[in-house]
Amino acid sequence: MNLNEFQNDLTTGIPAVLPAKKAYETAINHAPKRKEILTPEEKILALKNALRYFPKDQHAELAQEFSDELEKHGRIYMYRFRPDYKMYARPISEYPGKSLQAKAIMLMIQNNLDYAVAQHPHELITYGGNGAVFQNWIQYRLTMKYLSEMEDDQTLVMYSGHPLGLFPSHKDAPRVVVTNGMMIPNYSKPDDWEKFNALGVTQYGQMTAGSYMYIGPQGIVHGTTITVLNGFRKIKKSPAGSLFVTSGLGGMSGAQPKAGTIAGCVTVCAEVNPKITRIRHEQGWIHEVIEDLDALVKRVREAQANKEVVSIAYLGNVVDVWEKFDREHLHIDLGSDQTSLHNPWAGGYYPVGITFEESNRLMAENPEVFKQKVQETLVRHANAINAHTAKGTYFFDYGNAFLLEASRAGADVMAANGIDFKYPSYVQDIMGPMCFDYGFGPFRWVCTSGDPADLEKTDAIACAVLEEMKQQSPEEIQQQMADNIQWIKGAQENKLVVGSQARILYADAEGRMKIAAAFNEAISKGIIGPVVLGRDHHDVSGTDSPYRETSNIYDGSRFTADMAIHNVIGDSFRGATWVSIHNGGGVGWGEVINGGFGMLLDGSSDAERRLKSMLHWDVNNGIARRNWARNEGAIFAIKRAMEAEPKLKVTIPELVDEELLKGLK
């Protein structure tokens, strides 16, 4: 398909003539069949909901086809309408339209669905097992048509994957406003997602999937690297020759072995899915794949003895690894887990002792038995971890709901008080006090030219900004600055790019604003092409998640979601190009509210004005909240922010003498 044909396809939207049915490609990594949950009456409703996109003369042919999809897959994906062109982020100049901002969003959507990036590309799922960009292919087509028609005084409203329409607005309004899964609270249980997603009226946007800001596993490599490095610092041990054991090689979890390699340790990461294991190996995110436990033990001992920096994927269940290493007295220094336990009953976590294929059959045909097997596995998993921690392993919860689901399964993971978990969240021990409280989080950018040379130039620009800032930075954040400079200097050699020419870099508000301003100036001078700014939702301000992002909030407010809502509202009127707010993501449907943004830098004075206003709020909103929760680092950070910006005025908490409260009734 040539460029003209590609552009015509994007602007067509819903085809007037039905395209031919497409064969189901077995070589693609597909989503598992979703469990049977709709009543016969609800199945009819799901079909009516799907057919409303099409003229009546097409209903007779499509009704049976969509009914078959619903029965076979548990969802209506509208496979027939999947585009024939290759899906990837093209240079921004190749997208049709009247708005450069809209073209940037089209680019980011296609990046999320790139086969090299997406976990289940034909089901429009980017990562996490159910993190969707759209519910079906007609929603994709209609959205791209709207974006190709959009002008800079219009806003597209996205309603859980459905493009509700273009509405008049103004040039400083977001071009797109995205919501995903925003349920009435009493209808936010896992089975509610299964039901309403099957009906075609809501979707799980994960964190950056439904926000069009996913950049492949690189998106969390930096944060994972910081976590692993600081984990070794916490146990006062060098990574060289030390062992990190975890699991999950899917979307975000695929970052773990690369992070272990950058940190300089031996990493063993288990994964049950052969296809995704092969993909990560081909992409260079893991060095070796081993399927035999005895061979794995031998290889790990050899790597430890030689102090190799190596990542090994074990193709199998991680519970077998923990139990085998215990029997073999093989010491694990750091341990974690990053399977998609926010999605435990639909492919996010697999039971031990059952094949991958049989598990997929069970979850669709006998979901109650599958759930029982998963919970039995969680108990075994926890028991094996407990055996290792008794010998000195440092285990941390990676915010994937492992401890939460293990506790619900009856596993021995609770602290003596019966309220807290016996193992800390990595946010509680590492990322929260060391990064988030000081405003450091996963700032990211995408070079819309698609030119690797532009990415290399932006790396150099960002590094120069950070090195200059470090000279004036207070002692409290010198380590963070040093880690970030080391990261950006090694970004090219670590080959982090999958899909778009993107980079992630932990930075605070000052760093983000200065780096963005330097990019915008370089764009205005023609040194680089336009750049999209964004961040992971796993950040200082965007996400309220009591078991992960806000797990180090101890004033009782960690189960509130005001911060995430404030964040997305504030970003909207301060100049974001698009904004999003989601139910679910990372730790599960009904367990978190998270928001994100995208911003196009085009070298204009408008872009410079917007970036200063929006990026300042996007970070300091969260620091202000963390300060009010009496987090020491955040109190320091918000006072420093007020000194730098006289118009920022934040209430500082008065600290109470603990002795005063002792003995009070």
- Those residues with Cβ within 8 angstroms of residue 74's Cβ, 6 or more apart along the chain or in another chain: 33, 34, 35, 36, 37, 198, 364
* pLDDT recorded at residue 98: 97
Whether the CB-CB separation of 227 and 338 falls below 8 Å is answered with no
* pLDDT recorded at residue 251: 64
Provide φ and ψ at 236, rounded to 5°. Answer: 55, 50
Q: Which of the two residues, 48 and 282, has the higher pLDDT score?
A: 48
235-244: average pLDDT = 96
* Cα–Cα distance for residue pair 29/450, rounded to 1 Å: 26
Report whether pLDDT(307) > 90.
yes
* pLDDT recorded at residue 252: 64
Report whether pLDDT(550) > 70.
yes
39-51: average pLDDT = 98
Report whether pLDDT(18) > 90.
yes
CA angle 564, 566, 568 (to 5 degrees): 70
In sign, the C-alpha dihedral spanning 95, 97, 98, 101 is: negative
* pLDDT recorded at residue 209: 93
Indicate the pLDDT class of residue 355, thresholds 50, 70 and 90: very high
Report whether pLDDT(496) > 90.
no
356-374: average pLDDT = 93
* Cα–Cα distance for residue pair 548/398, rounded to 1 Å: 8
* pLDDT recorded at residue 481: 93
CA angle 181, 185, 190 (to 5 degrees): 60
Closest residue by Cα to residue 6 from 81, 105, 83: 83
